[in-house]
């Protein structure tokens, strides 16, 4: 019989996942997950892991709680480690205690991994301190949702008198009843906030008073899941709401990437963007066969991926790095990747493979021997090389099936001409397109973009800085 881990995923995005939660997800043989889980959390799971959606929304339950309890017992007999993934914390209105008791009754070993609850993290992302020495020395957390959809029985007379911050979870539909409860208890006109999709890129905050919040909420779009916060600490939100002031907050960004690399995803998310990051390309790796490094005067590596794969080839073939000839790379990104292996390029091209060939021709002669472990695409760039080249196909990128998440984007970041062509094939539209170089720009000009900006140097960080500086001026 296996064991079960009841794991809290925290509030909002994958960024609030704890290290222990991540470790268990990586080891899990089977995962039962809720509907509020960030999809990227499941990306940590093994390929062979059996995933089961058991999400519950108001009025729409994939499985009843009793069925989920039975599944946990049944699956623990089949798998060594079953992880039950919950949004927030398992014990904060997550019914984790019910599941744990069932496991105990059946003699199944279990552990509970706390998660960062929305009653703390959601407030923090909205700029609302859950406690504050001058205004609130404590806080209270209630569910505003019951099985029949009505507001649970709450003592509003007591809530009207307390100076504690009061947090209601799962309460969007019952906001009018909460306001009515306070007003009937003759509460002062307290500050109140409605926080939708807390700690997610689509977060939206509505700040008001008991007398104004219903009208304000009616004017905007504040879908569930929502937090309702009542108390004087809400007044700090205009000053402390750091999240909604991030430079890319509320911006929809398209970033297509290979299945093996997503370098820009985390930086974009850290800046508050809503990132549509489809794995549009899959890397297919080939065996380049036996290589006698002593036969060559130069080794040319044209991408960070080529650097990684060639170093992996050397490791598998037990080739000593001291046998390497002089090394040429395309762009600083490849040079940095090479440096991570303790190797430093003798020649760094400043644009593309064509430019590198021109620089390399200045250093070689007709009798030089050059090894180029290269991607299947764009081998034509080496036809202008002064000497014959030994081009070995190291990998190729094949298109994956994907669909745009949005009809229109604020911006798209395009790190290759291949990505640009695929975006045009999907009729992607955006206000702004950031291009990594001339070939990519040439493709983008055929598409539906209000403005195209090509970065001054082909560098991913340069693309981020360009996006930050340009997105609000298009």
Active-site residues, by number, are: 34, 56
CA distances from 270 to 267, 288, 406, 451 (A): 5, 38, 20, 24
Between CA 151 and CA 428 the distance in angstroms is 44
Quick check: 101 and 94 in contact, CB under 8 A? Answer: no
Q: How many CB atoms lie within 10 A of CB 62?
A: 14
Between CA 392 and CA 343 the distance in angstroms is 21
Quick check: 413 and 254 in contact, CB under 8 A? Answer: yes
The string over 410-425, giving b where at least 16 C-beta atoms fall within 10 Å of a residue's C-beta and e elsewhere, is: bbbbbbbbbbbbbbee
Q: What angle do CA 16, 459, 415 make, to 5 degrees?
A: 80
Beta-bridge partner residues of 4: 82, 110
Closest CA to 178 of 240, 230, 136, 112: 230
The radius of gyration of the chain from alpha carbons, rounded to an integer in Å, stands at 28
Residue 407: phi, psi to the nearest 5?
Answer: -75, -30
**CA contacts within 13 A on the Cβ side of 422:** 25
Burial of 30 (0-12, 13-18, 19+ CB in 10 A): buried
Say which residues have a Cβ less than 8 Å from residue 78's Cβ, sequence separation at least 6: 2, 30
Beta-bridge partner residues of 3: 81
Tell me if the bond preceding 225 is cis, omega within 30° of 0.
yes
CA distances from 5 to 8, 38, 75 (A): 10, 18, 12
Q: Is 147 helix (H, G, I), strand (E, B) or coil?
A: coil
Say which residues have a Cβ less than 8 Å from residue 322's Cβ, sequence separation at least 6: none
Token couple for 34 = 């809720």
Say which residues have a Cβ less than 8 Å from residue 390's Cβ, sequence separation at least 6: 296, 369, 370, 371, 372
The string over 189-212, giving b where at least 16 C-beta atoms fall within 10 Å of a residue's C-beta and e elsewhere, is: ebbbbbbbbbbbbebbbbbbebee
């Amino acid at each position: 019989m296996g064991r079960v881990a009841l794991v809290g995923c925290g509030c909002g995005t994958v960024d609030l996942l704890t290290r222990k939660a991540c470790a268990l997800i990586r080891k899990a043989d089977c995962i039962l997950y809720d509907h509020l889980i960030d999809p990227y959390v499941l990306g940590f799971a093994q390929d062979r892991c059996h995933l089961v959606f058991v999400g519950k929304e108001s009025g729409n339950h994939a499985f009843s709680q009793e069925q989920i309890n039975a599944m946990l017992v049944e699956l623990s007999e089949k798998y060594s480690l079953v992880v039950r993934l919950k949004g927030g914390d398992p014990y904060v209105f997550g019914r984790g205690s019910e599941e744990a008791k069932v496991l105990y009754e059946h003699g199944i070993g279990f552990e509970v991994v706390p998660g960062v609850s929305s009653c703390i993290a959601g407030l923090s992302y909205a700029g609302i301190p859950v406690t504050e020495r001058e205004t609130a020395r404590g806080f209270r957390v209630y569910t505003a949702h019951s099985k029949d959809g009505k507001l649970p029985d709450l003592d509003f007379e007591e809530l009207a008198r307390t100076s504690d911050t009061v947090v209601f979870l799962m309460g969007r539909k019952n906001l009018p009843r909460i306001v009515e409860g306070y007003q009937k208890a003759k509460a002062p006109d307290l500050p109140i906030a409605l926080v939708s999709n807390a700690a997610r890129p689509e977060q939206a905050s509505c700040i008001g008073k008991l007398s104004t919040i219903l009208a304000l909420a009616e004017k905007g779009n504040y879908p569930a899941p929502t937090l309702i916060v009542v108390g004087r600490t809400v007044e700090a939100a205009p000053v402390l709401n750091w999240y909604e002031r991030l430079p890319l907050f509320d911006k929809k960004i398209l970033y297509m990437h290979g299945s093996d690399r997503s370098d820009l995803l985390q930086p974009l998310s850290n800046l508050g963007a809503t990132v549509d990051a489809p794995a549009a390309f899959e890397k297919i790796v080939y065996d380049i066969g036996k290589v006698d490094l002593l036969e060559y005067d130069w080794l040319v590596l044209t991408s960070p991926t080529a650097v990684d794969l060639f170093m992996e080839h050397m490791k598998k073939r037990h080739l000593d790095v001291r046998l390497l000839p002089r090394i040429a790379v395309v762009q600083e990104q490849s040079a940095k990747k090479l440096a991570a292996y303790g190797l430093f390029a003798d020649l760094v091209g400043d644009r593309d493979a064509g430019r590198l060939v021109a620089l390399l021709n200045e250093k070689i002669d007709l009798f030089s021997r050059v090894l180029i472990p290269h991607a299947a695409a764009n081998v034509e760039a080496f036809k202008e090389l002064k000497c014959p080249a030994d081009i070995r196909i190291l990998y190729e990128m094949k298109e994956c099936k994907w669909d745009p998440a949005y009809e229109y984007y604020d911006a798209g970041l395009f790190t290759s001409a291949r990505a640009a062509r695929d975006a045009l094939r999907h009729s992607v539209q955006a206000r702004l397109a950031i291009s990594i170089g001339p070939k990519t720009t040439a493709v983008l000009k055929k598409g539906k973009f209000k403005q195209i900006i090509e970065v001054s140097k082909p560098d991913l960080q340069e693309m981020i800085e360009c996006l930050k500086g340009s997105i609000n001026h298009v």
